[in-house]
Amino acid sequence: MCPSGHDDWVKYPSARSRRCRECDRLARLYRRIKDLTSVFGRTSKYSTRCKYGHRLSGTNVYRAPASGRRRCRTCNNSRVYKKARATVATRAGQR
């Protein structure tokens, strides 16, 4: 019996010890789920919408040059616009 309570032990040719087949299957499943979902706010390559609900397809996808990550163009433009307005407001206040 494995530590998780499964009885399905198997000796793999490449492994030195026996491992539980069910635990291996679950590990592969959890890894696949983790790859398919967003982790720590990053956009997964399988995501179809950003966290604000905009579509991540066609012309609304922006590839960040430095990292190569996909971003929502609508959200990115909004963020850049807000940053530019804040800079202009700061400079106007310094005069």
More confident call, 26 vs 19: 26
Q: Are residues 3 and 45 in the same domain?
A: no
| Mean of pLDDT over the chain | 77
Q: Are residues 46 and 91 in the same domain?
A: yes
Q: Which domain holds residue 45?
A: 41-95
Identify the pLDDT of residue 35.
Answer: 65
Identify the pLDDT of residue 74.
Answer: 93
Contact (Cβ atoms closer than 8 angstroms) between residue 47 and residue 56: yes
Q: Are residues 47 and 29 in the same domain?
A: no
Q: Are residues 80 and 51 in the same domain?
A: yes
Identify the pLDDT of residue 73.
Answer: 92
Q: Are residues 76 and 59 in the same domain?
A: yes
Span 17-41, mean pLDDT?
71
Q: Are residues 56 and 25 in the same domain?
A: no
pTM here?
Answer: 0.46
Total domains, the chain: 2
